[in-house]
Structure 1
């Protein structure tokens, strides 16, 4: 593996990415090291950066190179043929990527699914369902491995043996959040973990907004599932829009504060999404043009044929459950004549995937 300018200057002090990018596009590392102090100054390098470059003893770089020798570990610089082409198009692409897993996923069509870290049960299930459906159609689900919607999106893809990429806001030697340790290991095995931060770099608050540009930059579109008005996922949506990518948002209850960010996006021009078909309608031409990928749009008749037929008593109870949380007290009142069988019926409906339960009650899922 050849050491690149991008790799060495990543660790050089006082060395802005714009300078690194320009030098990397015009010189090899050997050519750059052969220049004099004054020639390097003329090309924009600071004195500390020049001293670092000229010492030609870069322990951090050597450490990274050893890490990259491990099975399925990768270092991908901006000039590498493995660098994802869509990511090159954004205004401030990462110049060095660290990866673990299946790097070929970088060349598959991706859709980002992001949202709040504190979703409702319905929001979590919606993210999981959309991710599963899109993954079945050949799309790679890209997200940030955060708690809430991000995690549910990765899980939805893995549940159907689909493809998923997690963009981390820390080095790949760390498990963050710790509750997603198992999920991170699954993605490492069946998908791809990706970060612009060196493997030992610990999570920092400033890193997470920064990595959002990679999530949107890798993807043909970004779908937001539940987001408060100050959610970090709105940063991802804004970046996607600035990068010229489609932004989609799923509306929610007007009483749900975690839906207000999605409503704001829709007011600003994001496409309102109710079904997977709404997404496919928008991205199909792009996928056919850039990836030669044809996707199947499920007709409503096919969806109905696939649905499990419910017994009459279960259907009656299901019709009493709202698409926003319905408390048990309200259900007991609405289903007064079926009180004895209510609890077992609710369990059957949840197991069949028609509803989800939470502390606030029971929520009906969209068909």
Structure 2
């Protein structure tokens, strides 16, 4: 009789120190059954398969019905869902990789791992141009019903997640640490928002602190979840270029936004374009390359509130706004309204759901 469920056994084994992808692969090749405790004679075959004696000793000590139950209980307590290669909920694109993660830990909506995704990555210190382009493109991706996949890092990653959330769309953040560890710390509020409206995932056990070696692995999952990777701004030795190269190795599309040749933050993206990445100057460039992918339903956007007809002055001010953000000073130069009245009209348009305020006191039409 089986002592526990196969997937529970796999998750519990994954959380034993020293048991990573390679060890699990060796165990599986040796005929390991994650649904029952191992016998002593079975462990001898593990040694022949290349599993170290020290690791086998830890497995013998830890991997018991009590341990399996404890792991399951702790995940439930922390509101973390484990999705394994044995589950139908495992992301289909990620499962196509030569070495897909055995276990993904998820906080948030697991269904966000199923729909078509597009990675949006870039520098941690974007220019104002990079921020604007990221928001415009990520917002369009989310508007189309696609999932915006990124790494919750400072800069382009954070802007991409925020744009997807503001569009009422889907977003997935892949971490280079445990799914219950917020990194970077100043993204705590964004992390909570993604958990609430999207999904945060990691391939390493909960509680794992970030360290340099985990981020290339994280980047591989970002690209592995996605039909393509869009790089907005990147220096010549940027981590986001690693994600782009993973995309190429995985047979996925690579897109890059061109920038000024004088900008250090555009050297990486311009180089990608030289090497054959699709040059993206607007969202249509993405969809031309991805028209073979079955298109999901677009999310329902929250529009203006019913019964919020505009007054003539409000309509005139709204006509000045478009997809490009404008500051109050820019609007004042284009409008005859006194500054105090301009602020009041902008507030009314926000309340009525016609206008959205962006960081830096910039405004854009919804």
Q: Which of the five TM-score ranges fits, normalised by the shorter chain? A: 0.7 to 0.9
CA shift for structure 1 position 354: 12
**Equivalent residue for 2:261, pick from 254, 260, 266:** 254
**CA spacing shift, 1:9–1:105, aligned 2, 3 Å:** closer
**SS across alignment from 1:80:** coil
The residue aligned with 1:68 is: 75
**Equivalent residue for 1:28, pick from 27, 33, 57:** 33
**CA spacing shift, 1:53–1:71, aligned 2, 3 Å:** closer
Counterpart CA distance in 1 for 2:159 and 2:56 is 46
Counterpart CA distance in 1 for 2:63 and 2:37 is 15
CA shift for structure 1 position 41: 1.4
**CA spacing shift, 1:56–1:199, aligned 2, 3 Å:** closer
Counterpart CA distance in 2 for 1:310 and 1:259 is 37
The residue aligned with 2:156 is: 149
**CA spacing shift, 1:53–1:30, aligned 2, 3 Å:** farther
Q: Do the aligned residues in 2 keep the contact of 1:9 with 1:49 (CA within 8 Å)?
A: no
**SS across alignment from 2:125:** coil
The residue aligned with 1:40 is: 46
RMSD: 3.8
**SS across alignment from 2:152:** coil
**CA spacing shift, 1:63–1:167, aligned 2, 3 Å:** farther
**CA spacing shift, 1:42–1:31, aligned 2, 3 Å:** farther
**Equivalent residue for 1:108, pick from 89, 95, 115:** 115
**CA spacing shift, 1:136–1:34, aligned 2, 3 Å:** same
The residue aligned with 1:79 is: 86
Q: Do the aligned residues in 2 keep the contact of 1:4 with 1:77 (CA within 8 Å)?
A: no
**SS across alignment from 2:205:** coil
Q: Do the aligned residues in 1 keep the contact of 2:280 with 2:286 (CA within 8 Å)?
A: yes
Counterpart CA distance in 1 for 2:227 and 2:260 is 27
Counterpart CA distance in 2 for 1:75 and 1:160 is 28
Q: Do the aligned residues in 2 keep the contact of 1:284 with 1:294 (CA within 8 Å)?
A: no
| 1:154-182 Cα distance to aligned partner (Å, 9 max, x none) | 00000011110000111122221111111
The residue aligned with 1:52 is: 58
Q: TM-score, normalised by structure 1?
A: 0.77
Counterpart CA distance in 2 for 1:77 and 1:355 is 39
The residue aligned with 1:334 is: none
Q: Do the aligned residues in 2 keep the contact of 1:113 with 1:223 (CA within 8 Å)?
A: yes
CA shift for structure 1 position 32: 6.6
Counterpart CA distance in 2 for 1:233 and 1:183 is 20
Q: Unaligned regions of 5+ residues in structure 2, if any?
A: 299-313
**SS across alignment from 1:94:** coil
Equivalent residues, number: 326
CA shift for structure 1 position 28: 1.6
Q: Do the aligned residues in 2 keep the contact of 1:171 with 1:201 (CA within 8 Å)?
A: yes
CA shift for structure 1 position 91: 2.5
Q: Does residue 134 of structure 2 align to residue 130 of structure 1?
A: no
**Structure whose residues are more often helix by fraction:** 1
Q: Do the aligned residues in 2 keep the contact of 1:9 with 1:53 (CA within 8 Å)?
A: no
Q: Unaligned regions of 5+ residues in structure 1, if any?
A: 296-307, 322-327, 332-337
**Equivalent residue for 1:283, pick from 267, 284, 290:** 290
Q: Do the aligned residues in 2 keep the contact of 1:99 with 1:192 (CA within 8 Å)?
A: yes
Q: Do the aligned residues in 2 keep the contact of 1:6 with 1:20 (CA within 8 Å)?
A: no
**CA spacing shift, 1:61–1:261, aligned 2, 3 Å:** farther
Counterpart CA distance in 2 for 1:188 and 1:17 is 26
The residue aligned with 1:5 is: 10
Counterpart CA distance in 1 for 2:276 and 2:160 is 24
